[in-house]
Structure 1
Amino acid sequence: MATGQLTHESGPPALPTNPWPALWALVLGFFMILVDSTIVSVATPAILADLHTDVNAVVWVTSAYLLAYAVPLLITGRLGDRFGPRQVYLVGLTVFTLASLWCGLTNSIGGLIAARVVQGLGAAMMTPQTMAVITRTFPPQSRGQAMGLWGAAAGVATLVGPILGGVLVDTVGWQWIFFINVPVGVVGLVLAIRLVPSLPTSARRFDLLGVALSAIGMFLLVFGIQEGQTYDWGTIAGPISVWSLIIAGVVVLAAFLFWQARNRREPLLTLGLFKDRNFSLANVAISSVGFAITGMMFPFMFYAQGVLGLSPTNAALLTVPMAVISGGLAPFVGKLTDAVHPRWIAGFGLLCFSVAVLWLAGIMTPTTPIWELLLPMALLGVANGFVWAPISSTATRNLPLEHAGAGSGVYNTTRQIGAVLGSAAIAVLIQARITANLPGTGGGGSAETGISHLPPALHDGFSAAMAQSLVLPGVVLIIGFLAVLAFQRPRHMVRRSGAAEPVGAVEK
């Protein structure tokens, strides 16, 4: 069979007349992935103390997950095109659920990191399938509404995750932030089996060399960045230094891009997708969002629990304004995305996002009242509500349907690469700022005392370190803001305007 030829999963597929039930089933799994990420940020001080580790090691609980999530997304998007989104999603959900059980049962930091790697692989199989189903079952004029639901799930997850995580950590222990995924995963499997349709597939070859180069390059780069402070940016072992790992990562990733350009058969990364200007710019924007979301949560939660003395539950409650406003705005913004140029919607959201993070960095002191912290949190909710739907729908709206899975894979890969780099960079920055503001502490904190029992004498320096760390994600968001300002008008808007332009035309 010729490469790219359409086939079917099992006989001629009948697309659903109402695609919403299938989307709801898939969004449940996507929601679980996001909840899992936000839950862990709340539980990190508890994990740090219970497993007798340090800040850098406990951040790897998230970084390992994000790295394992990011690297396979290119090929899992292709797997969805080849075997069907439904099949790949079901396998990924099964892996994710079983790995969650493993996370809860482990009693060592090494075991937890290993389980999180497997969990990330499951998440990588699930995520591209959701966007692919939206692209392939919803008409262009209503994809914004579907992406609005996708964005609403992200907003609600930011509320449910931290609060549920705080309650579980305070009552039954951090292990239950993972155990809770098991029943949700079982329900998600049943719903997906019943509601998600089989869609046309296409024969694909798999670029194994591309997979190896991307995985090795990303690992070397992220490991070098995150471990740099631990080894004082010097030698790790023998001739291996931090900078040699970072440089090697950049070189391997450059080789990966070179191979993708030379591969005329089935490259892992279809560089031709980037000929679509909106797709390219949306990838830049979403990587900045991934960087910022991951990068801001660690210092803020450390500050709330270590300086303000809040319990995990009460620290999580600080995110309520953000989550409620984001979840409430997302469906409205989804409808708006189908009618208004996405540059104005996404641009407003990213500008609010950057202002809110920098505002938060400016007021994080030991004496800041709780109500004052809630103001930038509310602005973060507005930002999140205006970011997800317009960027996501703009990324894939102009792509051919047969490349829906590949496009979704690339888009989610760049989002996760941003999150990985955000996690790695913020770990380095936190350690560096703690060392600068609290000389003699070593930058890693004490596993015995833990961040949640930080002595009052250290509050000034620690809060300054966390506030200074927040500046980085705030600045990175400006890059995303500039990218979305360059969006072109989507094709369905050009055709709807009645202009006598060819179907493929776009308008600035």
Structure 2
Amino acid sequence: MSDTTIAYDGLPNPQRRWAVLAVALGLVMAVLDGAIANVALPTIARSVHVTPNESVSIINAYQIAVIVLLLPCASLGEIYGYKRSFLIGVAVFTVASLGCAMSTTLDQLTLARVLQGCGAAGQMSVSGALVRFAYPRAMLGRGLSINALVVAGSTAAAPSIASAILAVAHWEWLFAINVPLGLLCLVVAMRTLPQTPLSSIRFDVISAVLCGLTFGLGITGILGLTHGHHLLRASVELVVGLVAGVLLVRRQLSRREPLLPIDLLRIPLFRLSIMTSVFSFAAQMLAFVSLPFFVQDTLGRSEVMTGLLMTPWPLLVMMAAPISGRLSDRYPAGLLGGIGLAVYAIGLGLTALLSSHVSDAGLCWRLAICGAGFGLFQSPNNRAILGSAPRSRSGGANGMLGMARLTGQTLGATLAALVFALYPANQMTVALGIACLLAIIGTGLSLLRLRAPDPTRAATRA
């Protein structure tokens, strides 16, 4: 299994399987560490002697680092190669995980988490692009469905894995376990990932700085306003972020291959798919934030039981993603995504109408509908985003795919906080009602894609 320069349509087997395994291992580590620390936060806070409020920086440091660096890392991947970017990302993530495990203070752990986020951005920004080069065009949907399966499975397994590790070891092992996984990922990736064509453009440092200011200050400002802490500082951060965003967009309009891929947004299928993704993930985050409060405060279930009751959602995503991935190689993303989001909206609507006397089974089958609809939508949508962009712009397309997910999740979390503040008596009903509306809008946007040219289908037919 040697390095392969793509001069044909995809990698041969078994190299393709090993290459996808390497990408999957990287995604598992990045996604798990984005969620696994949530479960252990109280334990970590007690260990490093900080308040629960202060310990939140452990979570935010990782998420903000990923958001700020996702697009710059995607651009670097196009310039220096997706394989190189992935390897550096995994290496940084592995070293940072060891740093997290060895931390004894909040400051040390937060800095290590920032470095972890840098590594995660490096590998996540090019994972979809690597899958695109590993798989033949006619099989791209099933390749991307593996990514969706890995993300959903890691998300679902995070609470259980965290609980299992904490039951037999200290919290440091939540991060130390990444070291052998990271080394294994590096060995497999070096031997099997494809060498991809390089872009001739130079890295735009000014755009990268503006991108960091836009998303970093914008998101921290939104979080500050939402939680009502340091309102003046949060307002200044938000204003500076908006100004940086305007300057960023103006700068990108004049560039041939912009860091913020505005050029790709001119492609109707790409633009509609990005918008659909934002609405779908905003709806998902609204549900994920509001449901645990309903299950624990209204239904009176324990934290462990809450995790079990919410498992049908990611479990059905895992089951539906491979099926929809194969279907997306034969049917338009607009049709599959529209059907999936319609089912998703029905599940959210049925969940919004729940009473305080609902049984566990009654909650589970409604969440299963949500997961099945979301799983049917996700793989075809990812295929449309990556497949509608030119191959030379796969890094930018993959960066925008990640940004759409993170933007939607941030929007959903912000809306959930506003709902909690304005409707404390029936917050779950209102939050899921809004989520249902967002899914309906996403359905409409997805169906509009049936009128947009689909270069992936044209390439497959050719």
Q: TM-score band, normalised by the shorter chain?
A: 0.7 to 0.9
Letter of the 2:80 partner, please give it: F
Higher helix share: 2
Bigger shift: 416-425 or 9-18?
9-18
Deviation (angstroms), 1:70: 1.7
Q: Deviations over 1:44-66 (max 9, x none)?
A: 565567665346x5555444322
| C-alpha distance 479-35 of structure 1, shift in aligned 2 (>3 A) | farther
The answer as to 2:249 corresponding to 1:257 is yes
**What's 2:390 paired with?**
400
Partners of 2:419 and 2:109 lie apart in 1 by 24
Bigger shift: 187-196 or 170-179?
170-179
**What's 2:291 paired with?**
300
**What's 2:325 paired with?**
334
Name which of 149, 152, 156 aligns with 1:152: 149
Q: Deviations over 1:138-185 (max 9, x none)?
A: 232211111121222123223322322233345545544333333322
Name which of 356, 370, 385 aligns with 2:347: 356
**What's 1:446 paired with?**
none
The answer as to 2:367 corresponding to 1:377 is yes
Question: TM-score by structure 2 length?
Answer: 0.86
**What's 1:196 paired with?**
193
Letter of the 2:82 partner, please give it: P
**Contact 1:205 1:266 survives alignment (8 Å):** no
**Contact 2:149 2:318 survives alignment (8 Å):** yes
> Secondary structure of 1:200's partner?
coil
Letter of the 2:444 partner, please give it: L
Bigger shift: 22-31 or 387-396?
22-31
Question: TM-score by structure 1 length?
Answer: 0.79
The answer as to 2:245 corresponding to 1:245 is no
Q: Deviations over 1:271-301 (max 9, x none)?
A: 2212211111111122233334444333334
The answer as to 2:377 corresponding to 1:387 is yes
Structure with larger RCO (C-alpha < 8 A, sep 6+) = 1
> Secondary structure of 1:318's partner?
helix
Q: How does 1:183-222 map to 2 (within 5 A)?
A: 183-222=180-219
| C-alpha distance 324-399 of structure 1, shift in aligned 2 (>3 A) | same
Name which of 414, 438, 460 aligns with 1:476: 438
Deviation (angstroms), 1:125: 0.6
**What's 1:25 paired with?**
22
**What's 2:51 paired with?**
53
Name which of 262, 269, 277 aligns with 2:268: 277
Name which of 61, 81, 85 aligns with 1:84: 81
Name which of 491, 496, 500 aligns with 2:455: 491
Bigger shift: 166-175 or 340-349?
166-175
| C-alpha distance 80-198 of structure 1, shift in aligned 2 (>3 A) | same
| C-alpha distance 225-250 of structure 1, shift in aligned 2 (>3 A) | same
Name which of 283, 290, 298 aligns with 2:281: 290
| C-alpha distance 270-124 of structure 1, shift in aligned 2 (>3 A) | same
**Contact 1:342 1:390 survives alignment (8 Å):** yes
Q: Deviations over 1:183-235 (max 9, x none)?
A: 32222222212221322323331111111112112222212221124447xx6
| C-alpha distance 53-289 of structure 1, shift in aligned 2 (>3 A) | farther
Name which of 322, 337, 343 aligns with 2:313: 322
- Structure 2 segments unaligned to the other structure (5+ residues): none
> Secondary structure of 1:339's partner?
coil
| C-alpha distance 32-377 of structure 1, shift in aligned 2 (>3 A) | farther
**What's 2:221 paired with?**
224
| C-alpha distance 187-24 of structure 1, shift in aligned 2 (>3 A) | same
Partners of 1:46 and 1:356 lie apart in 2 by 35
| C-alpha distance 169-286 of structure 1, shift in aligned 2 (>3 A) | farther
Deviation (angstroms), 1:302: 4.7
Bigger shift: 250-259 or 473-482?
473-482
Letter of the 1:246 partner, please give it: L
Instruction: Give the number of aligned pairs.
Output: 454
Partners of 1:112 and 1:175 lie apart in 2 by 10
> Secondary structure of 2:83's partner?
helix
**Contact 1:93 1:185 survives alignment (8 Å):** yes
| C-alpha distance 67-326 of structure 1, shift in aligned 2 (>3 A) | same
Deviation (angstroms), 1:261: 0.9
Flag the structure with larger Rg.
1
Deviation (angstroms), 1:71: 2.0
Deviation (angstroms), 1:337: 0.4
| C-alpha distance 315-110 of structure 1, shift in aligned 2 (>3 A) | farther
Letter of the 2:165 partner, please give it: L
**What's 1:38 paired with?**
35
**Contact 2:286 2:432 survives alignment (8 Å):** yes
Q: Deviations over 1:11-35 (max 9, x none)?
A: 9667632333312221221122223
The answer as to 2:105 corresponding to 1:115 is no
**What's 1:442 paired with?**
none
**Contact 2:141 2:326 survives alignment (8 Å):** yes
| C-alpha distance 336-279 of structure 1, shift in aligned 2 (>3 A) | same
**What's 1:162 paired with?**
159
Partners of 2:287 and 2:180 lie apart in 1 by 30
Q: How does 1:165-180 map to 2 (within 5 A)?
A: 165-169=162-166, 172=169, 174-180=171-177
Partners of 2:192 and 2:373 lie apart in 1 by 32
**Contact 1:353 1:380 survives alignment (8 Å):** yes
**Contact 2:3 2:194 survives alignment (8 Å):** no
> Secondary structure of 1:204's partner?
coil
| C-alpha distance 471-21 of structure 1, shift in aligned 2 (>3 A) | same
**Contact 1:273 1:407 survives alignment (8 Å):** yes
**Contact 1:152 1:327 survives alignment (8 Å):** yes
| C-alpha distance 354-60 of structure 1, shift in aligned 2 (>3 A) | farther
**Contact 1:73 1:409 survives alignment (8 Å):** yes
Partners of 1:135 and 1:89 lie apart in 2 by 14
**What's 1:347 paired with?**
338
Letter of the 2:66 partner, please give it: Y
Name which of 124, 141, 149 aligns with 2:121: 124
| C-alpha distance 241-197 of structure 1, shift in aligned 2 (>3 A) | closer
- Sequence identity of aligned pairs in percent? 26
